[in-house]
Amino acid sequence: METLLLGLFYISTLYAFIPGLITRLFGFRVFRRGVSKDHFALTFDDGPDPVYTPKLLDLLKLYDAKATFFVVGSNAEKYPELVKRMHEEGHLIGIHNYVHKTNWLMWPASVKKQIQRTTKIIHDITGVTTHYYRPPWGIVNLFDFAKRNETQIVLWSAMFGDWRQRIGADRLTERMMKKLGGGEVFLLHDCGATLGANTDAPMQMLIALERVLKEAQTRGLQSIRIDEMITMGKNLKKKGNAAPSTSTGENAVHRGKPALSPMKKCIVSLWFLWEKVFHFLFRLKTTNSEDPIFHFRIRPYHGDTVKMMGDIPLVHGDQVLELHFDNKKLFQIGMRSRSSIQVAIGMIRGVEKTLPELASYIMAHPELHDVKALYGVTMINRGTEQLGFTVADLPKGLFAKSTTIYLKFLMKVIHPQGGARLKQSSSKELVPKMLVMPIELLLERYSEGGSHRHLKQKQQKDLQSAEDATETEVVLSTSLT
């Protein structure tokens, strides 16, 4: 039961909580605000609706305002004439799933089918293929990031609770006026038929919207489509990049310690806080609380049988010491390093130091004497056999796919050069592997009574070989923490 709950916690954290937190707080891999001073974007979810969408289109036409409609596929299927009218009047049409259901409650394949089905419906009606996607309630899952080349996820910078009728037109107007300005992305709804919404709420929205559009004209603000707002931002960024860089970028990396943007600093701080929570919840321990490399816990092994060194089998149900690299420590190593080779060397030295500490810890704790192996998941594919580990492929399936995406995501977010490293590496290079080592081999090689001194001399040679290596794969976490 404990294992099942832990598995559910892992999956929910990785699949839903972390992606949702990162996108909402930091806008990671989503578009939610423009940079134009004279334009804002009106976006409408949940339609089309046979009563309110025609009235909305009339209002937009009256004020020469362009908008983006994220349509529910099943509604678009019922009212194709409204989707056609949206397109003919110059509005952008995006996807809001085929049914209004959160992505947290659907498998990746189900979400993909929802998007593909809605895309086909829109194409059949308009002849245009859309790439703009807003998940219901703005809730993303881990695999939504993987669809980056297929879809552009669009969230918002301002929402007003317009799906509740009790808000009323006056209060809604006040809220919208406060946010009316260049670059803002308004979230509104032209249909009140979804869960939690009021059927007649769009009428209050229409009253408020007309007031806002009048005020926008007075201020010289124009509502444009999301694709136009995104293009404006890209063009501005290109102009900005034409100027010589003074403190950041590749030159800064070569001069010394890479500079972190304020957003990345916030992300890193948030991640370290989450790691502390994870360690507390699952009671992870370490051999060195002042300068940790590994954290660990005992759990049953649930994979296929693996032959470790010495032909020792690791079978389903065996107790393993699950290792988790300390993300803060490895981030510090990454910040001090100018290349992946230097990061790798720092990690090798840290592991070399910690394995004897682990061996001594196990010898001193009788409750660990039934543990059969060390176990971890990592993208490090070189040099670990020399330390006594056996490298094995993860079984194909959801865990392997989600772990790959997660570790790449963590590398990009935490590692100062993570994004560039991902672009340089092929998909075959960045694949998580399972590492296992028999406890008896750990004790034989690394305990005080074993052949640790002889091994240390050998590892010094291995370390020199690592310094001369031309390729070493590095990631800043080997676990789901």
Contacts of 29 (CB under 8 A, 6+ apart): 23, 145, 148, 153
Is the Cβ–Cβ distance between 126 and 84 less than 8 Å? yes
DSSP letter assigned to residue 137:
G
Strand partners for 43: 68, 187
Distance CA 429, CA 354 (A): 26
Is the Cβ–Cβ distance between 105 and 140 less than 8 Å? no
Catalytic residue from among 87, 189, 324, 415: 189
Distance CA 453, CA 196 (A): 67
Q: How far is CA 176 from CA 173, 219, 220, 263, 359, in A?
A: 5, 14, 16, 27, 63
Is the Cβ–Cβ distance between 387 and 436 less than 8 Å? no
Is the Cβ–Cβ distance between 431 and 473 less than 8 Å? no
Ramachandran angles phi, psi of 170, nearest 5°: -65, -50
Residue from 53, 92, 43, 56 nearest 75 by CA: 53
Is residue 45 annotated as a catalytic residue, yes or no?
A: yes
Catalytic residue from among 39, 45, 87, 162: 45
* Residue 320, both tokens: 């393993």
DSSP codes, 313-335: EE-TT-EEEEEEE-HHHHHHHHH
Distance CA 76, CA 79 (A): 5
DSSP letter assigned to residue 256:
S
Distance CA 348, CA 462 (A): 9
Chain centroid offset of residue 446 CA: 38
CB atoms within 10 A of CB 465: 12
Is residue 452 annotated as a catalytic residue, yes or no?
A: no
Ramachandran angles phi, psi of 291, nearest 5°: -145, 65
Instruction: Determine whether 431 is exposed, middle or buried from the number of CB atoms within 10 Å of its CB (0-12, 13-18, 19+).
Output: middle
Q: Is 253 helix (H, G, I), strand (E, B) or coil?
A: helix
Strand partners for 186: 42, 158
Active site residues: 45, 189
